[in-house]
């Protein structure tokens, strides 16, 4: 925690800011990319959201109180940015959020930056049928290997509720794939 405080000071100090921000991006660039990509599905959309996330992190660092870990704070910003992106896309296209996600999954086979086999596509299709919260929990737990405690800090839901949500998600996914 002390190390994190020192690191945040470096991020806020104009003399060390540039190097510290490079370090931050090197450390969190890939995991945040995966997190956002799991939500918005398309690479180019992920790129936009990830850039906005880092810019938002930089702008809001002076207000970061250190009440939560830098890791969970950044994940929270990334999650909000990704969900906001989906909402805006749905509003622009005049369709629901679920339809936006399902459309993105339908486009996966033609996506240059997706190298999944038939089962992976089926799994993505199954996940896209879940309610938003269950999708988020399943992706963070299964694809991103985050601990329940970490997910709890990011989404602000109790560990017990997250476990129940994940259990329901797995059951629905299995039913979906078995019915194909």
Partner 1 sequence: MKNFKLDNEPKINSGFKAPDDYFSTLTDIVLQKLPQQETKVIPLYRKKPVWLSAAAIFMILIGGSLFFKLNTTTAQPDSTAIENYLVYQSSISEYDLYQKLDADDIAELEQSIGVSNEAIEDYISTQNNYDIYLTE
Site string for partner 1, 55-84 (x = CB under 8 A): x--xx-------------------------
Minimum CB–partner distance for residue 94 and partner 1 (Å): 27
Q: Work out how close the CB of 6 gets to partner 1 at its nearest, in angstroms, rounded to a whole number.
A: 20
* Contact flag: residue 17 with partner 1 (CB under 8 A): yes
Report long-range pairs for 157-161 (Cβ below 8 Å, ≥24 apart).
157/133
Q: Verify binding: residue 119, partner 1, rule CB under 8 A.
A: yes
Decide: residue 136, CB within 10 A, 0-12 exposed, 13-18 middle, 19+ buried: buried
Asked whether position 123 contacts partner 1 by CB under 8 A, the answer is: yes
Torsion angle in degrees (nearest 10) through CA of 1, 35, 151, 142:
-130
User: From the CB of 138, what's the least distance to partner 1, in Å?
Assistant: 10
Q: Does 109 bind partner 1 (CB under 8 A)?
A: no
Q: 58-92 burial by CB neighbour count: b if 16+ within 10 A, else e?
A: eeebeeeeeeeebbbbbbebbbebbbebbeebbee
Please state the closest distance from residue 2 (CB atom) to partner 1, in A: 25
**178 binds partner 1, rule: CB under 8 A:** yes
43 binds partner 1, rule: CB under 8 A: yes
Piece of 10-18, 83-91, 95-103, 148-156 that binds partner 1 (CB under 8 A):
10-18
Rounded Cα distance between 165 and 174, Å, is 14
How many other CB atoms are there within 10 angstroms of residue 40's CB atom?
A: 23
Phi, psi of 140 (to 5 degrees): -70, -35
CB 85 within 8 A of CB 93: no
Contact positions toward partner 1, by CB under 8 A? 14, 17-18, 21-22, 25-26, 29-30, 33-34, 37-38, 43, 47, 50-51, 54-55, 58-59, 108, 113-117, 119-121, 123-124, 139, 142-143, 170, 173-174, 177-178, 180
């Amino acid at each position: 925690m002390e190390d994190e405080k020192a690191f945040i000071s470096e991020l806020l100090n104009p003399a060390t800011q540039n190097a510290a921000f490079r370090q931050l991006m090197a450390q969190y660039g890939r995991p945040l990319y995966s997190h956002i990509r799991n939500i918005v599905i398309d690479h180019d959309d992920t790129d936009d959201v990830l850039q906005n996330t880092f810019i938002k992190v930089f702008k809001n660092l002076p207000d970061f109180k250190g009440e939560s870990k830098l890791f969970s704070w950044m994940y929270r910003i990334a999650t909000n940015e990704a969900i906001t992106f989906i909402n805006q896309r749905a509003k622009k296209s005049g369709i629901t959020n679920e339809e936006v996600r399902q459309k993105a999954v339908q486009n996966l086979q033609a996506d240059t930056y997706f190298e999944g086999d038939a089962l992976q596509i089926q799994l993505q299709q199954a996940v896209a049928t879940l309610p938003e919260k269950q999708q988020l929990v399943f992706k963070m737990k299964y694809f991103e290997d985050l601990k329940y405690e970490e997910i709890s800090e990011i989404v602000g839901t109790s560990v017990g509720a997250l476990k129940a949500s994940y259990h329901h998600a797995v059951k629905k996914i299995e039913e979906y794939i078995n019915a194909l």
